[in-house]
Amino acid sequence: MQNSMYGKPLNNGGCDMNDYNGIAEIRLTQSVFQQGNFIPAQINLIIGRNGTGKSTFSSLIRSIEPLSFQNGCSAKEYRIIVFDRRYVLDNVMQYDSIPGIVTFSKHNSDIEQRIYALKAELQQYEAQLSGFQAALDRLSDDKTRITHTAVEFFWAQTKDFRKKFEKALIGKKTKQKLTEALLAAEPRYQDIGTLSSVYAAAFGEEKALQPLLSTVQDTNALDSLSQSGLLIEPIISSSDSLFFRFIKNIHAVDWVQQGHKQFGEHTNGICPYCQQTLPADFEEQIASCVNAEYESALGQLQGLLEIYRQTANQLFIPLQNNLKYMPVGTDHRMLLTLLKTLKERIKSNLERIQAKIHSPSNPVRLELTKDLLIEIQSEIAAINNVITENNHIIADRKNCQKQCADSVIAYLAHQFRQDIAEYKLKKAQMEAARIPLMSQIEHSQAKIRACSGQIKTLTQQIMDTETAVKGINQVLSESGFRSFYLRQSRVSDHAYEVVRHDGSIASNLSEGEQRFLAFLYFYHTVKQNTSVIKPTIAVLDDPFSGLDREASAVVLHLIDDLMNYCESADCLLRQLFVLTYHEDYFLTLTQNPVCSTDKALVCRFKKDENKTQIEIIHNR
């Protein structure tokens, strides 16, 4: 290559990590270096005063662009870490502005900041979730309260009803079950009397079918007798005797005949009314008042009375007997009233016929019964319908018991329809309020899961600083360093207190102490390499800068250890660059046996006419 310090062909084939490999060539900046490129060894020790381009050289390696790699590898297959001022600032930081507490690794610091922000966001979502959950709990409590109130109300209000229809409420004999049935039922109006009758038939012990009640066959049976002319027209004798004309003129025919009929055989010749002696021909005179036609009419009246009585008995007695066979639970109060009225009307009519017999000349009109009998007929028909239905129930009792049970609940649902509607409305309103709450809860939970997942993922990406810190304390202890040590902080799993030898917290770290801590972390990061399993190229730019003698001695020892570590066959440190201005420490490092092998390159950066000349001290 042009202006190459020494040439060695590059392998442009595939990357082979089994062989030693690393940077094969570094293209140098023409404005700083005289040479155009630099071909490094596995271990490279470079001495140079300040201003000779050491930091520029380190920056070229960090930038990756001017690098070419051995065995066909690329930069992405390596972990390149450069220890310099930038590394110190990025990897040893004060934790959360707390003096004396540090955290290591810019990578970890960036992740910690993201985790901190995510935890703050997580707290907000958890607070929101808590608020939404509290509102949902209050809504649930309100729902429980109104449900409890409804359950207790329905139970108390149906106490007597439940006793009456106990057998129809099987499976609904608890408060909760009864309420559930009422809320699910379709309200339906039913006559309580009919329902009671159906219940008695469905759940009663009667197994025989009940005969239908006797009804009225002829509603005009009595009224047809009431139209007789014997009742309406006066019955008067057609005799023309002087005595008859006399009692007729004074309107005493019926009175005289009734008196004679009642007292005629017991007069002893004395008038029962005036107590005077009766004339000798009194009986003949009385007989002259009645002719054959008159006697026939009176006989027909007496016959009419008997026929009316017989017809009434034939009509009324079966109707009266019906009362013995009324279906249980049937409301027959109207029938009782009608039968009572019929009985009174028949009695009145019989009395009127009797009055007509006593006073044949007086017209009589009987009370009609047809309309009354029609009403009785209608009531009996309604009751017979119930009997028919009951007989159907008895014949199919199992199915009818289920239908009856449904009807009982439907009846109650109708009775409490307004209360049920109010309860369902309140419950629906609560459910409507619950839906957006659930949506908000689900949204918050999703956010919480997302934040928690990100936190978990980021936490897994945090480099293992605990092992590094343990190693740092071990190095400090074994080297006899007494200025400070590190201790786990309570504020974070990835924060550490810098503790002085007297137990106090080192609240004001010097720049040199901070740089020393950074180097110790760098050293263990290089050797640990557990977070990223890649071959490592390590660059140390002025590692002794700003350190006191005690810290410099520790650093010198550790660099020497890295040189030996890099030489070992099974390590991941594939290439090491050490750049320093300190002659004594440089000379000490060159005493490492590896520097006398072809694995090492020792050189000096010298300023010549404003450009750096690279002078080879030892070439592999």
pLDDT tens for each residue of 466-508: 788 888 888 888 888 888 888 888 877 778 888 888 888 888 8
- Ranges 39-53, 188-202, 237-251, 496-510: which has the least confidence: 237-251
Relative orientation angle of helices 397-415 and 175-184, to the nearest 10 degrees: 80
Closest by Cα among 567, 492, 540, 565 to 54: 540
Span 277-306, average pLDDT: 68
CA dihedral 200, 204, 210, 216 (to 10 degrees): -20
Closest CA relative to residue 260, chosen from 238, 243, 241, 242: 243
Mean pLDDT of 117-142: 92
Residue-wise pLDDT for 410-461, tens only, equals 999 999 999 999 999 999 999 999 999 999 999 999 999 999 999 888 877 6
Q: Find the DSSP H helices in 359-416.
A: 370-395, 397-415
Check residue 43 and report its DSSP letter. E
* Beta carbons within 8 Å of 418's beta carbon, 6+ residues apart: none
Q: What are phi and psi of 239, to 5 degrees?
A: -65, 150
What are the φ and ψ backbone dihedral angles of 75, each rounded to 5 degrees?
-60, -35
C-alpha dist (Å) from residue 9 to 18, 72, 568, 574: 19, 12, 24, 19
- The pLDDT of residue 9: 33
Q: What is the pLDDT of residues 330-345, one digit of tens each?
A: 788 999 999 999 999 9
Angle, alpha carbons 554-559-561 (nearest 5°) = 95
The structure tokens 């028949």 sit at 346
| Distances 495 to 102, 320, 445, 458, 477 between C-alpha atoms, Å | 6, 107, 30, 16, 20
Phi, psi of 534 (to 5 degrees): -135, 155
Better-scored residue on pLDDT, 203 or 131:
131
Average pLDDT rounded to a whole number, residues 244-248: 44
Give the model's confidence band at 605: pLDDT under 50 very low, under 70 low, under 90 confident, else very high.
very high
Residue 124 CA to its chain's centroid (Å)? 24
Which pLDDT score, from 0 to 100, does residue 494 have? 74
Mean pLDDT across 529-548: 83
pTM: 0.48
Give the list of residues 6+ apart from residue 111 with CB closer than 8 angstroms, or none: 458, 459, 461, 462
Total residue count of the chain as it appears in this document: 620
For residue 351, give every residue at least 6 positions away whose Cβ sits within 8 Å of its Cβ, in sequence order, or none. none
Please provide the average confidence, as pLDDT, over all residues in the chain. Answer: 83
Separation of alpha carbons 70 and 19, rounded Å? 9
Tell me whether strands 600-608 and 43-48 are parallel, antiparallel or unpaired. Answer: parallel
Mean pLDDT of 381-385: 88
Sheet holding 79-83, edge to edge: 79-83, 536-541, 573-580, 43-48, 600-608, 611-618
CA separation for the pair 154, 300 (Å, rounded) = 70
pLDDT tens per residue, range 16-41 = 555 557 999 999 977 889 888 999 99
Alpha helices in 158-191 (DSSP H): 159-164, 175-184
577: its two tokens: 């660059």
What pLDDT shows up at residue 13?
A: 41
Say what the pLDDT of residue 82 is.
Answer: 94
E strand or H helix at 493, and its extent?
none
- The rounded distance, in Å, linking the Cα atoms of 484 and 497 is 10
**pLDDT tens column, 606-617:** 988 888 999 999
Count Cβ atoms below 10 Å from residue 307 Cβ, excluding itself: 13
The answer to whether the CB of 513 falls within 8 A of the CB of 546 is no
Distance CA 371, CA 266 (A): 47
Q: Are the C-beta atoms of residues 556 and 594 closer than 8 Å to each other?
A: no
244 has pLDDT over 50: no
DSSP string, 522-553: HHHHHHH--SS-S-EEEEEESTTTT--HHHHH
Higher pLDDT, 599 or 327: 599
Look at residue 427 in the predicted model and tell me its pLDDT.
92
**C-alpha–C-alpha distance, residues 39 and 25, integer Å:** 5
pLDDT at 290 over 60: no
pLDDT at 323 over 90: no
Residue 95 and residue 491 in contact, taking contact as beta carbons nearer than 8 Å: yes
User: Token pair of 291, please?
Assistant: 């002719």
**And the tokens for 77?**
């297959």
Return the domain boundaries, the chain. Answer: 23-101+465-618
Assigned superfamily of 23-101+465-618: P-loop containing nucleotide triphosphate hydrolases (3.40.50.300)
By C-alpha distance, which of 258, 242, 353, 370 is closest to 308?
353
Predicted confidence at residue 187, as pLDDT, reads: 93
Higher pLDDT, residue 181 or 571 = 181
CB-CB contact of 199 with 404 (8 Å): yes
Instruction: Tell me how far the alpha carbon of residue 593 is from its chain's centroid.
Output: 77
> What is the percent of the chain where pLDDT is above 70?
83
Phi, psi of 487 (to 5 degrees): -140, 140
Count of Cβ atoms closer than 10 Å to residue 189 Cβ: 9
Rounded-to-integer distance, Cα 31 and Cα 425, Å: 86
